[in-house]
């Protein structure tokens, strides 16, 4: 099962600000940053049940963690 990847509006704004910050230091670094963020998130989006439920989490929505 694949879920759509979407960010909370505040998280999206923070990501955009971070990309701008990195690009302001060296053009192209912001894009590499976005690629790194996506490559970290996508495995959980592609197969969310592969990750364990966050220890101590007992409510909806379920939060999962790699470690």
Q: How many domains does the chain have?
A: 1
| Residue 19 falls inside a structural domain | yes
Over the stretch 21-54, which tens digit does the pLDDT of each residue have?
A: 999 999 999 999 999 998 988 888 888 888 888 8
| Residue 43 falls inside a structural domain | yes
| Residue 1 falls inside a structural domain | no
CA 37 vs CA 30, 34, 56, 59: distances in Å: 11, 5, 26, 26
| Residue 51 falls inside a structural domain | yes
Residue 1 is predicted with a pLDDT of 42
- Regarding predicted confidence, which is higher, 65 or 18? 18
For residues 62 and 9, give the distance between their C-alpha atoms in angstroms, rounded to a whole number.
20
| Residue 56 falls inside a structural domain | yes
| Residue 4 falls inside a structural domain | no
Determine the structural domain holding residue 33 and report its residue range: 9-65
Q: For residue 41, give both structure tokens.
A: 């998130």
For residues 26 and 21, give the distance between their C-alpha atoms in angstroms, rounded to a whole number.
9
Cis peptide, bond prior to residue 15, ω within 30 of zero: no
pLDDT tier for residue 18 given thresholds of 50, 70 and 90: very high
Residue 4 is predicted with a pLDDT of 60
Residue 45 is predicted with a pLDDT of 82
Residue 67 is predicted with a pLDDT of 63
Return the closest-CA partner of residue 53 out of 39, 67, 38, 35.
67
């Amino acid at each position: 099962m694949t879920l759509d990847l979407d960010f909370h509006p505040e998280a999206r704004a923070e990501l955009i600000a971070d990309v701008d910050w990195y690009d302001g230091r060296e053009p192209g670094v912001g894009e590499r940053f976005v690629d790194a963020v996506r490559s970290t998130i996508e495995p959980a989006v592609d197969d969310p049940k592969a990750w364990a439920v966050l220890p101590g989490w007992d409510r909806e929505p379920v939060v999962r963690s790699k470690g």
